[in-house]
DNA sequence: GCCTATAAATGGAACGTTCCAATAAATCAA
DNA sequence: TTGATTTATTGGAACGTTCCATTTATAGGC
């Protein structure tokens, strides 16, 4: 109800006693119109309850100010943190980004991208769904829409990437475990269809190799990148005749799963089996025991991605430099028998 | 680069040797055109790399198929779960919803709503930011845009609400605590500017009253609805000369905070102090100890909200019935000294 | 006062679709 | 064959903006 025919620019022109062009100018904040005329127009807008039709405007302008964020898994707090970082910069640029979730499903991703294109997005930040191919983004490139990948990259794609230094992060974490005296190490979770997996696994392997772990003592367990996957990996590892004593996990969710499974078997994460996570989500420091993890500054990467896409839009290009973010290992309580070296962050700090 | 002038319906008409009207019909899947003509057109679309301009279409149609989900805090897994439920039904309806985050900020919410309206949304699901007034939604109503509130309601607004039975949930939880022998009870977190707060607190109070707790023994601590808030509430409570022995928390985040603070003081949640949460997010069962919480079927409520808004759009109305979802208490390990009655859900079940 | 320069406001065409009314083509009845 | 009916296709006028080229008002200089 009350759905009277929507007011247009013409209605408010009539109400204010000016021409539609004048109204349009006012709407765009042009300095060309006299302040009192502008005021008159603005009042009419208010009175009539006019709402701007961006679709009509874009028809003429061919440059919308819509930016889309395509996220592969919104329920993973890690990606929610990423989204929050991006929003921060978009908000201060006065633009409202639209978030869409692909739920790690390439088919859904295709739908989402199509819909966003039809909507005429000016630019896109995408954390691609697992198993998506460069093909899915061909269309975007053809249309000249600026796209940046966040956190994940695709094999052989020319789209710029904003991601942490996965290789180095994994290397640091592994070196730490070895430094604690562990000699038989596992890598938990992830699967080969993710480029990130190879990067992290690569860092793990390099550390093992250069620091003198025998090839037979480096164990790799693929699995889901979730708590569930972590549980499964741990079970598999402990079923071995000669189980590992420490694990680097693909991400924090996997690490949480592994710790859970340890507890269920009556083992204490940290002293009985060392666990290191990756990403350092806010829960990591609140877990029991607090999780040692590779911090990647997720919101910071989100901000960076937002800046890059903004700049790409502005300079009408579809290319940009990759950005590899610095990482650092945050040592807490979940690894190594040596409990004297605990590092604690203030318990109040983690509520974003 | 490659940003050649975008192909329009006319270009593909030319390429296929038909009229633009025919192309339009094909695009809409009209059965009026001969199958071989349609095929010809579709091929041209593919060849040219045409992308549909929904803005232009909406100009004519005045009925977009865009639905917006306005969420007050995306980093709270609870709301992410809600969003996931909604997405499920939208996906099967073939529509891509756009999510926008207000970060619990009424000003940002205003921007978001404005932007969504300008985009010509067909309908909206909103979990309003704390402290937002019905005024913020007046404009939507005037424009005849169907809106439903999810999880939260506004005082004196005629917009339909999909929410759990907060009063009953709080009542059940409180009764459980009293049944465990607790005689001095606290309510932790939340603040009076949230209708939900009054509902939950109301249930708590009613249970205390009808089950014979002396008014002097019911303690209320307002606070942030986050882990941080829970920590603060617990500190305040234990600072009392005669502290409570159990607390019902506004939500699970507050409960996690409270448990954290207990641990930090060397107290064991469950045996030394009983804690009950609200919402039953997936982490609740994975916490140490597993959190007793009021389950509200968040994704289910999301689905329901999506269905309602879809029906409203279809029947061109802006009114609908409220829906109050059933709740039930999931008893785990975080409350009462009686540890023999643990209820455990399968550890594998929680990964959405 | 007149001419010029500047400032402010305006009409009209275009943007890419949809949809109605109209035409063209195919089918059928006689 | 012709006319009537059905089936496919099409031109043209909208939809609500923007922006260019104009027009009109205002001010300055002499």
Above 50 in pLDDT, residue B137?
yes
The reply to whether B1 falls in a domain is: no
Q: Which residue is nearest to nucleotide C14 (CA to C1')?
A: A60
Above 60 in pLDDT, residue A339?
no
A349–chain B Cβ distance below 8 A for any pair: no
Claim to verify: residue B243 and residue B253 sit in the same structural domain: yes
In this prediction, residues B138-143 reach a mean pLDDT of 91
Q: Counting runs of H as helices and runs of E as strands, what totals does chain B give?
A: 12, 12
The reply to whether A61 falls in a domain is: no
CATH number, domain with residue A115: 3.40.50.2300
Claim to verify: residue B202 and residue B345 sit in the same structural domain: yes
Q: pLDDT by residue (tens digit) across A195-217? A: 999 999 999 999 999 999 999 99
Closest CA to B256 of B232, B296, B226, B294: B226
Q: pLDDT by residue (tens digit) across B315-343? A: 999 999 999 999 999 999 998 754 333 33
Claim to verify: residue B80 and residue B25 sit in the same structural domain: no
Q: pLDDT by residue (tens digit) across B78-89? A: 898 999 899 999
Residues making up chain A, counted from first to last: 352
3-state DSSP assignment of residue A9: helix
Above 70 in pLDDT, residue A346?
no
The confidence score (pLDDT) of residue B80 equals 87
The confidence score (pLDDT) of residue B348 equals 33
- Per the structure, the count of domains in chain A is 3
The reply to whether A92 falls in a domain is: yes
Report which of residues A24 and A65 the model is more confident about.
A24
A228–chain B Cβ distance below 8 A for any pair: yes
Look-up of token digits 């207000």:
B102
| Residue B245 structure tokens | 């022995």
Claim to verify: residue B113 and residue B145 sit in the same structural domain: yes
Burial category of A37 from C-beta neighbours within 10 Å (exposed 0-12, middle 13-18, buried 19 and up): middle
* Residue–nucleotide distance: A271 CA to D4 C1' (Å): 93
Above 80 in pLDDT, residue A188?
yes
The confidence score (pLDDT) of residue B19 equals 96
Contact B164, B175 (CB under 8 A): no
B210–chain A Cβ distance below 8 A for any pair: no
- B120/chain A closest Cα distance in angstroms: 7
Residues of A in contact with B111 (CB under 8 A): 91, 96
Claim to verify: residue A275 and residue A292 sit in the same structural domain: yes
- Confidence band (pLDDT; 50, 70, 90) for A94? confident
Claim to verify: residue B344 and residue B273 sit in the same structural domain: yes
Handedness of CA A302, A305, A311, A314 (dihedral sign): negative
Claim to verify: residue A266 and residue A246 sit in the same structural domain: yes
Above 80 in pLDDT, residue B217?
yes
Nearest CA in chain A to B60: A56
Nearest nucleotide from residue A57 CA, by C1' atom: D17
Above 90 in pLDDT, residue A77?
no
In this prediction, residues B171-192 reach a mean pLDDT of 96
Above 50 in pLDDT, residue A345?
no
Contact A54, B118 (CB under 8 A): yes
Q: pLDDT by residue (tens digit) across A207-252? A: 999 999 999 999 999 999 999 999 999 999 999 999 999 999 999 9
Residues of A in contact with B91 (CB under 8 A): 108, 111
| Residue A328 structure tokens | 């650092």
Residues of B in contact with A108 (CB under 8 A): 91
The confidence score (pLDDT) of residue B4 equals 57
Claim to verify: residue B218 and residue B339 sit in the same structural domain: yes
Can you name the residues that pair with A186 across neighbouring β-strands? Answer: A219, A247
Claim to verify: residue B255 and residue B319 sit in the same structural domain: no
Mean pLDDT of chain B: 91
* Residue–nucleotide distance: B61 CA to C21 C1' (Å): 18
- Confidence band (pLDDT; 50, 70, 90) for A288? confident
A115–chain B Cβ distance below 8 A for any pair: yes
Residues of A in contact with B284 (CB under 8 A): none
CA distance B323 to B165: 9
Interface of A with B in 158-177 (CB under 8 A): none
Claim to verify: residue B138 and residue B173 sit in the same structural domain: no
Mean pLDDT of chain A: 91
The reply to whether A191 falls in a domain is: yes
CATH number, domain with residue A35: 1.10.260.40
In this prediction, residues A26-51 reach a mean pLDDT of 94
B266: DSSP letter = T
Claim to verify: residue B199 and residue B230 sit in the same structural domain: yes
Is the distance between the Cβ of B20 and the closest atom of strand D smaller than 7 Å? yes
Q: pLDDT by residue (tens digit) across B28-55? A: 998 899 999 999 999 999 999 999 999 9
Residue ranges making up the domain that contains B15:
9-52
B12 φ, ψ to 5°? -75, -30
The reply to whether A146 falls in a domain is: yes
Claim to verify: residue A98 and residue A242 sit in the same structural domain: no
The reply to whether B57 falls in a domain is: no
What percent of chain B is predicted at pLDDT more than 90? 83
In this prediction, residues A67-73 reach a mean pLDDT of 95
Above 50 in pLDDT, residue B278?
yes
Above 50 in pLDDT, residue B142?
yes
Above 60 in pLDDT, residue B115?
yes
The reply to whether B113 falls in a domain is: yes
């Amino acid at each position: 109800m009350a759905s009277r025919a929507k007011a247009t620019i013409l209605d408010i022109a009539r109400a204010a006693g000016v021409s539609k062009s004048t109204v349009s100018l006012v709407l765009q904040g042009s300095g060309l119109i006299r302040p009192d005329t502008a005021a008159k127009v603005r009042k009419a807008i208010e009175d009539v309850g006019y709402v701007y039709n961006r679709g009509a405007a874009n028809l003429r302008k061919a440059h919308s100010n819509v930016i889309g964020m395509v996220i592969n898994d919104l329920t993973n707090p890690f990606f929610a943190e990423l989204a929050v970082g991006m929003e921060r910069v978009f908000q201060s640029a006065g633009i409202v980004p639209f978030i869409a979730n692909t739920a790690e499903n390439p088919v859904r991703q295709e739908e989402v991208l199509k819909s966003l294109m039809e909507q005429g997005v000016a630019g896109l930040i995408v954390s691609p769904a697992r198993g998506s191919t460069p093909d899915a983004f061909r269309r975007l490139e053809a249309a000249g829409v600026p796209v940046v990948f966040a956190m994940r990259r695709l094999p052989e794609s020319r789209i710029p990437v904003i991601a942490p230094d996965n290789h180095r992060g994994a290397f640091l974490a592994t070196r730490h475990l070895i430094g604690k005296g562990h000699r038989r190490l596992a890598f938990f979770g992830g699967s080969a269809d993710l480029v990130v997996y190879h990067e992290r696994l690569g860092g793990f392997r390099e550390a093992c190799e250069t620091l003198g772990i025998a090839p037979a003592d480096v164990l790799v367990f693929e699995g889901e990148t979730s708590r569930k996957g972590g549980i499964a990996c741990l079970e598999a590892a402990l079923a071995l005749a000669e189980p590992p004593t420490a694990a680097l996990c693909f991400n924090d969710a996997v690490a949480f799963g592994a710790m859970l499974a340890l507890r269920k078997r009556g083992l204490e994460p940290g002293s009985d089996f060392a666990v290191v996570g990756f990403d350092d989500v806010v829960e990591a420091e609140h877990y029991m025991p607090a999780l040692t993890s590779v911090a990647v500054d997720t919101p910071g990467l989100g901000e960076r991605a937002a800046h890059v896409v903004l700049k790409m839009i502005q300079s009408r290009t579809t290319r940009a430099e990759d950005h590899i973010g610095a990482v650092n290992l945050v040592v807490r309580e979940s690894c190594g028998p040596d409990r004297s070296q605990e590092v604690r962050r203030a318990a109040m700090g983690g509520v974003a």
